[in-house]
Structure 1
């Protein structure tokens, strides 16, 4: 995809690429620290790379047509890997993200009406209210060092709480953040046994994850009970996502969610709805601090207006391009790993049952055959008439299992970035390069301090 650039674009820092001849056990050692640092230059140049993973073959796919085949044309032949299930099940249970087969079909059909663009539009007032409060709090900290990553985490958690339950997260936010931090630091890093043993064989970490899950489920159930205690008037329109999810019925069977299923769906939406968006907004603010000219373009697009509707959000074309480019450079889901249920032919490669397919948005979004200046921050590439191939850009996945909350996340991200940059000028106080690392999502290796000033 060719784009024109008037000035030299910013190239944000990245971890050094691994030697192409890195040994299997050397790669395993790096995986626990930073998965995206395990790939060498070949992975950014070649379309399909074949390797071995113990008794099976492994394939890295950077060919859009091959990716289309795995995620769309023959998606039923590919399931999550044991390591992927182990990493996600303790926090997401059997919710939409992990469900398979009939369970997934039921959940997807039942939840879809709650995540349409129209339903998202009804939740925008919750977002704008939290943004108003966030701007007011930041006003008290202008011209002094601010941890904007923490601010984004608190803000998106508050938005998640209000859009899900219509109540704030002042009391429960710290506990939820502690759960997320505990899991990310202690239990979300794959161990060697997590990758080689079947899911039915517990690893030492699985026992710790099971204890975590028991506490986590009790916490989410408590949030649901608190929300239900507020009640809902008969015939009243839904006021939040919980109403939509609690009232949801499968259009074919008329069946709704059990209490146990609702816990997993709520957990999935809260975690996916705040952690990934907070991280994307952090990276966008970091990039705009590195690129003041682009930051000024975002600020000028809002023209100082108070955005409070989907129509307002849709008008922010350049800000949306900044969000899109941010998710290209820092995709939340840096790796999609699948195991083949049966033999297949993918892009000319012969895949056997049990082989591992890796589709890495981190690699795909920086591939030298698919993008012009792939490591550079150039938002205007997303305003070109030449759109990227649908299966070369996967910030929310693709195919039947594409992220159901994508319209919500995109609206929230554009609204928040437009409002924050329209109000404040953002600069870095800390000159230390921020290096992305991949554990569950693409995270910064540290939280730099920013300095903000009123426009």
Structure 2
């Protein structure tokens, strides 16, 4: 894509690129702290990088046709790696995000009606209520530096709680955030034995993860029990995602979710709908603080209106482009790793049984052969007539396993950014560069403080 820009775009800071000749053990040492920092310049220039991972080959794919094959044409041949399962199962269980085969098919079919555009539109009032409250709270803090990352985490958690259960997260929010922080700080990081041993062989960290999972599932089950005490009036329309998920039935088998399955699905939706959206909004606010001119364009698009419907969200074309460009530069899921069940040929790449396939949106979105000025923040690239190749831009994945909640997340992100920038002018309180870390999601290495003023 060739992008013409009137002014020189900003290039946000990134971690140094690794030496291309870094040793395997050197990469393993860096990987636990920041996987993004394990990739060298070749990974941003070449279409396929072949390496070794213990007894098997490994491939980094930056070729859209090969990625299309792995994620769409022959997706059933590729399963999650042992390390990926170890990282996700303790918090997501057997939810739709990591289920495989018939279990995944059943879950996907059953959940689909809860995430249609119409269902999302019905949840917008929950979002706008939380945004109104957030803006009111920020109004009282215009005279002091503000941690907008924490604000976004609390806001998206409140939205997740209300859209899922129709109740606020004042009592439960701190506990839920503690679970997320605890897991990300230690248990959600890959260790050497996590990558070496098959899933059936527990590693020392797996025992700690199992203890975490017991406490976590008990907490989610308590939230579900509390929601069920609220009941549902016969004949009344669904008031939230829980109503939709609890009543959901597989259109082919007629089966719904067991209580244990519902816990895993609810956990998946709360975490996916809260942490990744909060992180994307933080990065969007950070970029707009670095780029005041683009910030003013976002503010002017709202025309000072109170946005409160899907029609309003759909009109925010430039704000949506800012969100899309933010997720290009800081994709929430920075890496998709798969293991081949059988031999395959992906657009000319010969893949053996057990080989590891890595599709890294972080690399793909910054690849020098796929994007013009790949490291620059240029939202208008998503408003041009030259759309990126569908398999060169993967903020929500692609193929049958594309994120089921993508429309919900996009609507929430656009609405929140438009409302916040329409209400406040933001700037950084300091100029210490914020470096992205690849740990579970694409996180900042620290939470900078912002100054906010009312427009």
Q: Which bin holds the TM-score, normalised by the shorter protein?
A: over 0.9
- C-alpha distance in structure 2 between counterparts of 1:350 and 1:390, whole Å: 23
- C-alpha distance in structure 2 between counterparts of 1:212 and 1:316, whole Å: 41
| Residue 203 (structure 1) aligned with residue 190 (structure 2) | no
| Residue 378 (structure 1) aligned with residue 378 (structure 2) | yes
Question: Secondary structure in 2 aligned to 1:105?
Answer: helix
Residue 356 of structure 1 corresponds to which residue in structure 2? 356
Residue 322 of structure 1 corresponds to which residue in structure 2? 322
Residue 80 of structure 1 corresponds to which residue in structure 2? 80
Structure 1 residue 317 displacement after superposition: 0.1
1:188-209 residue CA offsets vs partner (Å, 9 max, x unmatched)? 1100000010000000000000
Residue 221 of structure 2 corresponds to which residue in structure 1? 221
Residue 104 of structure 1 corresponds to which residue in structure 2? 104
Cα RMSD between the aligned structures?
Answer: 0.4
Question: Secondary structure in 1 aligned to 2:440?
Answer: coil
**TM-score scaled to structure 1, two decimals?**
1.00
1:386-414 residue CA offsets vs partner (Å, 9 max, x unmatched)? 10000000000000000000000000000
Q: Is the 8 A contact 2:337 2:358 kept in 1?
A: yes
Residue 251 of structure 2 corresponds to which residue in structure 1? 251
Structure 1 residue 143 displacement after superposition: 2.9
- C-alpha distance in structure 1 between counterparts of 2:54 and 2:83, whole Å: 14
Question: Secondary structure in 2 aligned to 1:145?
Answer: coil
Point out where structure 2 has 5 or more consecutive residues left out of the alignment: none
Structure 1 residue 234 displacement after superposition: 1.2
- C-alpha distance in structure 1 between counterparts of 2:171 and 2:107, whole Å: 30
- C-alpha distance in structure 1 between counterparts of 2:349 and 2:116, whole Å: 37
1:105-138 residue CA offsets vs partner (Å, 9 max, x unmatched)? 0000000000011100000000000000000000
Aligned ranges for residues 272-283 of structure 1 at < 5 Å? 272-283=272-283
Structure 1 residue 186 displacement after superposition: 1.7
Aligned ranges for residues 153-192 of structure 1 at < 5 Å? 153-192=153-192
Question: Secondary structure in 2 aligned to 1:373?
Answer: coil
Aligned ranges for residues 19-168 of structure 1 at < 5 Å? 19-168=19-168
Structure 1 residue 424 displacement after superposition: 0.1
1:240-286 residue CA offsets vs partner (Å, 9 max, x unmatched)? 00000000000011110000000000000000000000000000000
1:394-438 residue CA offsets vs partner (Å, 9 max, x unmatched)? 000000000000000000000000000000000000210000000
- C-alpha distance in structure 1 between counterparts of 2:144 and 2:171, whole Å: 27
Residue 268 of structure 1 corresponds to which residue in structure 2? 268
- C-alpha distance in structure 2 between counterparts of 1:2 and 1:80, whole Å: 35
Structure 1 residue 350 displacement after superposition: 1.2
Question: Secondary structure in 2 aligned to 1:146?
Answer: coil
- C-alpha distance in structure 2 between counterparts of 1:66 and 1:291, whole Å: 35
1:332-369 residue CA offsets vs partner (Å, 9 max, x unmatched)? 00000000000001231211110000000000000000
| Residue 308 (structure 1) aligned with residue 305 (structure 2) | no
- C-alpha distance in structure 1 between counterparts of 2:349 and 2:158, whole Å: 46
Question: Secondary structure in 1 aligned to 2:311?
Answer: helix
- C-alpha distance in structure 2 between counterparts of 1:349 and 1:185, whole Å: 36
Q: Is the 8 A contact 2:51 2:57 kept in 1?
A: yes
Structure 1 residue 90 displacement after superposition: 0.2
Q: Is the 8 A contact 2:66 2:349 kept in 1?
A: no
Task: Count how many residue pairs are aligned between Structure 1 and Structure 2.
Answer: 455
- C-alpha distance in structure 2 between counterparts of 1:153 and 1:211, whole Å: 25
Residue 450 of structure 1 corresponds to which residue in structure 2? 450
- C-alpha distance in structure 2 between counterparts of 1:85 and 1:190, whole Å: 11
- C-alpha distance in structure 2 between counterparts of 1:430 and 1:27, whole Å: 32
Point out where structure 1 has 5 or more consecutive residues left out of the alignment: none
- C-alpha distance in structure 2 between counterparts of 1:437 and 1:62, whole Å: 21
Structure 1 residue 55 displacement after superposition: 0.4
Structure 1 residue 327 displacement after superposition: 0.1
- C-alpha distance in structure 2 between counterparts of 1:427 and 1:277, whole Å: 21
Aligned ranges for residues 410-449 of structure 1 at < 5 Å? 410-449=410-449
Structure 1 residue 298 displacement after superposition: 0.1
1:21-40 residue CA offsets vs partner (Å, 9 max, x unmatched)? 00000000000010000000
| Residue 13 (structure 1) aligned with residue 13 (structure 2) | yes
**TM-score scaled to structure 2, two decimals?**
1.00
